[in-house]
Every structure is written in C-alpha cells, then in structure tokens.
Amino acid sequence: MQSMRLRKHGFTLIELLVVIAIIAVLVALLLPAVQQAREAARRTQCKNNMRQLGLAAHNYHDTYNIVPPGCVAYISPPAYGTYAAHGTGVFILPFIEQGNLYSRYDFNKGFDHNDNQFVVNTQIPAYQCPSTPGGGRTMASNNAFASSFGGLPAQNGSNTVATSDYNGMRWVYDVNATKNTGLMSHIWVLPYSISETSRFADCTDGLSNTILYHEMAGRPTAYRNGKPAGTSTWVQALWSAPWSFSTGIDIYTSSPDGTTQGGPCIINCTNEWQPYSFHTGGVQITLADGSGRFLSQNISGKVFWALCGRADGQVVGEF
C-alpha cells in the first residue's frame, strides 16, 4: 500500500503582508478612539477636581463666613524675608480631606520656609488636571513679598513648591484695560497694602453666573496655543502657580499668538495671564454655586466679562 504524503500548510509572504496590513489599519482606526476615550475620562476627572474645589470653598465659607482668599500675606519675623504668605490651596486643605497636611503647615513661617517644604511639595491630585503634560511639577518657591513688592519674586535658597493647574478669579481686564472684580480676594496685612475680604453675599450677579475657579494649566512652563515656550517669566504667573501661594490672579486678553496682553483672544492662547487648558475647545471652570462647567474658548468677550464679575449687573444668558 502506497504511503500517503501529508501536505504541510503555511502562510505565503503575500498572505502575511495582507494580515499585517489589516492589523495596521485596525490599530490606526482604534487608536484615536482609545485616545479620545482616555481624554474624556481625564476631562471628567478635571471637572470633578474643580467641583471639589467649589465644595471646599463653600465649606470654608460656612466655617469662616468669607470666601477663601487668593493670598494672605503679613509680617512675621520667623518667615523668610520676614513676610509669611499663604495661598488658597493651604486654607482649604481641611475641606479636601487633607487635614493631616494642614496640621503640619506652620502659618508663622509661610509657604516658602524650610519647615514647610514637605507640605508644599506634596502633589495633591485635586489641584492638578490629569490632561496636563508633565505630572509632578514643582518650581522655585517664589515669594513676591520677600523681595520688593511688584518685582521678580525671591526664592528661599533652593526651596521648591508643587504647582496647581487651577486659579481663583480675582480681577479680569478687557482689551481697554478696564477692570472687573471677581470673588477671590487678597488679604495683605502689610505696611504698603490693603486688607480685603469677600463673601458669597457680595455676588449680587448670582452664584450660578459668576466664575470662582478656572483652569490655568501647565505652569511653570509657559504654553502658547498648545506649544511649550520655555519657563514663564511673567511675574504674576510665577506668583500664582504654586498651590500653596497665591491662586487668585489677574486675567488679561491676549494676542492670538499668546505673546502680548490685550487682544482678541480670551481663552487658551497662553497660560501666563488667561484661562488655559489641554482640553480641546475650552477650559473647565467652577461657578460660585459650586457647579462645574466646560467653557468654550469661542465664548464672546461680553459674556466672559460678565461671568468674571461678581456685581457688575450684567445679565448672563446661556453659555
């Protein structure tokens, strides 16, 4: 009986190339969908962070009867340069489940003192947008009050601080440099400055029509239209970036390229002096009622101006 030969089957080179091509096409189709799903999750987490800040602000207000200040600074001999300064992020720590950090913070010595280094360099998820590149960002402990007021902030040796992607709404300027006042205040108990406070009752425009917090992500790196442009040199950007220092900042319009203050751009042209995020099409905001919203970067200047002010009397419709 003649033995039968078994025929061996395998892939030809052409079949292998076809399979590889099909897989490559599938990956090319699926990858953008996966990236979009991940960004959607990050965007949702960012909104949840901002809602948490809004809830913390209300709990702080219930406890102390004022909106948490953007910055408090006063003379204290133990502090570096004798000026102790603290930002919103410090004051609301107990209200975002960070009471242990709050108890370790020494208010007599300020955010940039050696003894507060552990606290101020702690990376707190509630203060960071997960869409921002470069996690775990720190920067020099720039204390505007330890040098000459209004000048380049001074660093206490090599001390550093962790940054925040969120800022409080203090003042906003239009293209004509006209100022509108927000809810976030600064309390400067110093020889050359003022003491001011703010309450939710001062928000006569309505809590649901007034911005309390907004994204200003990516610092200390300066970003313009999504591209890094080196370390920021704008003084207020350096003051307001650490979560432990000032998180109430002045907002300006910008040129479309993000290099000059005063222009048609309101959002996402630069993270140095206006709301900025790494989300497509706009930024996350927290309204004074504690709710979170996504604000389109195509919003009109008139509506944005009205949203920033707490008592300008301007009616805001749908936005």
CA 279 from chain centre, in angstroms, equals 12
Q: What is the mean pLDDT of residues 213-241?
A: 90
Between residues 26 and 181, which one has the greater pLDDT? Answer: 181
Across the chain, mean pLDDT equals 87
Question: Which pair of structure tokens corresponds to residue 248?
Answer: 């109430």
> Considering the entire predicted model, what is its pTM?
0.85
- Distance between start and end Cα atoms, the chain: 88
Q: How confident is the model at residue 177 (pLDDT cuts 50, 70, 90)?
A: confident
Residues of 91-128 as b/e, b for ≥16 C-beta within 10 angstroms?
Answer: bbbbbbebeebbeebebebbbbbeebbebbbbebebbb
Task: Report pLDDT for 124.
Answer: 95
Chain CA centroid to CA 112, Å: 20
Q: Residue 243 is encoded by which pair of tokens? A: 């979560």
The mean-pLDDT minimum among 183-197, 198-212, 279-293 falls in 183-197
The CA–CA distances, whole Å, from 235 to 152, 214, 250 equal: 6, 19, 11
In angstroms, the CA 48 to CA 54 distance is 10
Residue of 251, 247, 255 whose CA lies nearest to 304: 251
Give per-residue pLDDT as tens, 138-158: 998 888 787 654 445 567 778
